[in-house]
Amino acid sequence: MSFCPCCSELDFSTCCAPYLNGTPAPTPETLMRSRYTAYTLCNVSYLIRTTHPKTRKNYSARSIEQWAKESNWLKLEIREAIGNTVTFYAWFSDKSGQLQVHKERSTFRQEKGIWYFVEGTEAS
């Protein structure tokens, strides 16, 4: 068994892998978990594809790739998932080895049955 990087305690093949392989995520939380997993795998194309078309211009594939590669992703904790928002903490060590916590409240939008990440703001 290979635990999923999203910390769900489920096997990767039945947790985030189907979404990374093209199955639409059924909920904002599921999309959030799969996007975290995409960061751990440096799957930039998935991160861009699952960002809402109207806000993609705000995100650089190069910056995403750089952050993903320079970080050692350690843990995801979903703090709250209500409606179209998910608040999470993501622990990682940066390129200098310092432990960091990324705290974010992400907003998602569903269009034609597909959930997209719209934007993230700093969470407390």
> According to CATH, what is the number of the domain 12-122?
3.10.450.50
User: How far apart are alpha carbons 111 and 124 in whole angstroms?
Assistant: 29
In the chain, where are the structural domains located?
12-122
The predicted structure's pLDDT at residue 26: 98
Q: pLDDT digit string (tens) for 104-120?
A: 999 999 999 999 999 99
**Four-CA torsion 99, 103, 108, 114, nearest 10 degrees:** 20
Q: Where are the alpha helices (DSSP H) in the chain?
A: 17-20, 28-41, 44-49, 61-70
> Is residue 95 over pLDDT 80?
yes
pTM: 0.95
Give the number of other Cβ atoms within 10 Å of residue 54's Cβ: 11
